[in-house]
Structure formats: structure tokens, C-alpha cells
Structure 1
Amino acid sequence: MKFSELNAEQWAELQPYLDTAVLPVTGLTGAEMPHEATRKLERLRDVLLTIEQPFKGRIVTYPAIQYGARSPELAEQLREVCGNLRTAGFTYIILASAVPLPPAEACGADLSVGPDEDGESPEPGAVSESVRKLWLGRA
């Protein structure tokens, strides 16, 4: 479910069931040519689909953090946003990324889903398994 699909009344009613926030991270630097930025956005869309489709009804996808290279500053920004999402009531935070990120724990998240260091996209089955393990406390 997208954040924009929930009004205040719906949130009050559904919050007990929507315990997981997905925070997309595009990883743009501003140095990309338009076609390169498009490719990153398409990769992020594909990663998000591996989470959103099978788990609709338990997750809320927030707006993407568009800019930020893999750096201590990005990890710090993600820690702050993840902390705010927890304060808002989410038990689990999943980062969905178009680029490799620092480890989820360094960013204040419970799970990070995205390409590996070689740029290989995650397999949908592996993503589903990781999310289920997270919810079962076996992550």
C-alpha cells in the first residue's frame, strides 16, 4: 500500500496490521545522464515489486529518498528516517534500493533489498523468504 492511499481514519483503523514500512532509496548522485537515471528508477521499481506485490496489506511504501551515494552521510540520513518511521509506529523497516547500500543495521533498518555489489538484482523468491524470516524473528 502506498502512503498516499491512507487517510487519517484509515490509518487509525489499519495501523495494527500495517507494521512494516518500505523506504525506497534510488541512489542518484546528480551525475547521471537522463537514461542512466531512468535505468536506476526502473531498477528500483523492479525491486519494489518484489516486496509490494506479495505482501500488500501488511506494508506501507513511503516516498523514495532520491539522492545519496553510498556514504556515511547516506547511512546517517537513513538512520534518522528509519528512526522516525519507528516513532510513527512501524515495527519493521525495509530499505528497497536501486544501488548497493550499507548494511541494513548501519542504516537503522531491519532488512535491505537491492542489488549486490556486482549489480545483480535480488531474486523474488529470496526477497519473499527474507521478509518472512524478518516477520518470524529469524532474520
Structure 2
Amino acid sequence: MKFSELSADGWAELAPYLDTAVLPVSGLQGTEMPHEATAVLERLRDVLDLIEIPFKGRIVTYPACQYGTWTPELSSQLQSLSSNLRQVGFKYVVIVMAFGAPSEAKVETGADLIISLSEQGELPSGTDVNDAVRQLWLGRA
């Protein structure tokens, strides 16, 4: 579900079932031409589809962090956001990136799972994402 689909009453009723927050990160830098920004956002959409479609009803997708490349500042911001999402009641935090995540991203952000493009810019497979999310929920991630 998208965050905007939940009213206060709806959240109170569904919160026990919606235990996973998804935080998209586009990685825009502000230097992109409009068509390049569009391409980045389309990649983010494609990665998000791998988790949003099969797991609708258990996840809530939050607004995207749009600007920032992988820096200590972005890592710190994502760590703070992960912590905040847990404080409002989410058991799991999944960060979805429109770029390749560094190997240390999971530890540095405090996320339970990072879903991102490969180093070659390719989408992860739907099967891999599905397996990773299920392993997370089974406590094996």
C-alpha cells in the first residue's frame, strides 16, 4: 500500500498486518536533464514493483528520498529514517534504491533489507526479491 491510501482509522485497523515499511531512494543529484531524471524514476518504479505488487497488504511504501548519492550524509539520513519508521510501529524496514547499493548499505542504514540495482545497473530478479523478503519475515535474513 502507498502511505497516502491509509487514513487514521484505516491505519489503526490495518497496523497489525502492515509490519513492513518500504523507503524508496532515487539517488537524483540535481544535475540530470529532465529525460535523465525520468529514467532514474522509472528505474525506481521498476524496482519498487518487485516488492509492491507481490506483497501488497503487508507493506507500506513511504515517499521517496529523491536527492543524494551514496555518502555518509545519505547513510546517516537513511539510518535516522529507518529508526523513525520502527518507532512508529514497523517491525521491518526495506530500502529500495534506483542505483547499486554498496555492500555496507544494510549495516550503515539500519535497514533489514536493501533492494537495489546490480553494479551493472540491472534490476534484481523478482524471484530473488521475493525470496529475500520472505526470508526476512521468517527471521532468516
Shared fold, TM over 0.5: yes
Offset of 1:105 from its aligned partner? 2.0
The residue number in structure 2 matching 1:131 is 133
| 1:53 is aligned to 2:62 | no
Q: List, as ranges, runs of 4+ consecutive aligned residues in structure 1 with deviation greater than 6 Å.
A: none
CA distance in 2, matches of 1:120, 1:15: 34
CA distance in 2, matches of 1:27, 1:101: 10
The residue number in structure 1 matching 2:9 is 9
The residue number in structure 2 matching 1:120 is 122
User: Normalising by structure 1, what TM-score?
Assistant: 0.97
The residue number in structure 2 matching 1:39 is 39
Point out where structure 1 has 5 or more consecutive residues left out of the alignment.
Answer: none
Offset of 1:101 from its aligned partner? 2.7
Q: Is the 8 A contact 1:115 1:122 kept in 2?
A: yes
CA distance in 1, matches of 2:124, 2:93: 18
User: Normalising by structure 2, what TM-score?
Assistant: 0.96
Q: Which amino acid aligns with 1:59?
A: I
Aligned residues: 139
Deviations 1:77-121 (A, max 9, x none): 000111100000000000111012342221110001010222121
Deviations 1:29-52 (A, max 9, x none): 011111111111000000000000
Aligned residues: CA RMSD? 0.8
